[in-house]
């Protein structure tokens, strides 16, 4: 009976009453963090197993090559449309 009285006295203490909601909120937050982490990991494993990540990497590499080709074409176009630069024009007029 003394143990029951001690537990009752601890639960009636004002510090315990003040801190219990924060402890419960922290436990709930931690559980939700674990739940979302597990769900995220499950989704990543699913993508890896299906091979979609590997396929996306190949597509991105292909797009990078196409972008490089487009940059080269644009540079060539700018050079051909730009004609001579100012120094060449100045040398021609003299």
Residue 7 lies in a domain: no
DSSP assigned state of 12: T
Contact 10, 16 (CB under 8 A): yes
Section 63-86 average pLDDT? 83
Distances in Å between the Cα of 33 and the Cα atoms of 5, 21, 40, 71 are 37, 18, 11, 45
Band of residue 47 on the pLDDT scale cut at 50, 70, 90? confident
Q: How large a percentage of the chain has pLDDT more than 90?
A: 31
Which comes out higher in pLDDT, residue 73 or 85? 73
Looking at the whole model, is its pTM more than 0.75? no
Residue 84 lies in a domain: yes
Q: Are residues 37 and 55 in the same domain?
A: no
Q: In total, how many domains does the chain have?
A: 2
Residue 2 lies in a domain: no
Gyration radius of the chain's alpha carbons: 35
Residue 93: predicted pLDDT? 57
Measured between alpha carbons, how far is 51 from 58 in angstroms, rounded to an integer?
Answer: 11
Residue 38 sits in which domain range? 18-50
Q: Are residues 86 and 59 in the same domain?
A: yes
């Amino acid at each position: 009976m003394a143990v029951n009285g001690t537990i009752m006295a601890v639960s009636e203490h004002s510090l315990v009453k003040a801190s219990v909601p924060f402890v419960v909120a922290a436990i709930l937050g931690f559980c939700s963090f674990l739940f979302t982490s597990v769900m995220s990991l499950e989704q990543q494993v699913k993508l890896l197993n299906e091979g979609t990540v590997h396929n996306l990497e190949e597509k991105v590499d292909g797009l990078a090559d196409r972008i490089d080709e487009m940059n080269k074409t644009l540079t060539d176009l700018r050079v051909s449309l730009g004609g001579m630069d100012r120094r060449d024009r100045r040398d021609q007029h003299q």
